[in-house]
Amino acid sequence: MEESNLTRGIGKEFMERTQYKYLETSDQNKGLPQPPLELGYEGSQRIIDLPAPREIKLDPIGLREAIENRRSVRDYSEQPLTLEELSWLLWCTQGVKGVVARPATLRTVPSAGARHAFETYLLVNRVEGLRPGLYRFLATERKLVEVSLETGLADRAAEACWRQRFVKMCAVAFIWVAVAYRTTWRYGERGYRYMHLDAGHVCQNLYLAAEAIGCGVCAIGAFYDEEINGLLDIDGEEKFVIYVATTGKKR
Domain ranges of the chain: 47-249
Cis check: omega of the bond before 103, within 30 degrees of 0: yes
- Residue 159, CB half-sphere, CA atoms under 13 Å: how many? 10
Contact residues for 151 (Cβ-Cβ < 8 A; gap 6+) = none
Whole-Å CA distances, 163 to 49, 132, 158, 168, 228: 33, 19, 5, 10, 12
pLDDT per position as a tens digit, 36-78: 999 999 999 999 999 998 888 898 899 999 999 999 999 999 9
Fold of 47-249: NADH Oxidase (3.40.109)
Task: Record the pTM.
Answer: 0.96
The strand pairing partners of 215, in sequence order, are: 249
pLDDT per position as a tens digit, 76-90: 999 999 999 999 999
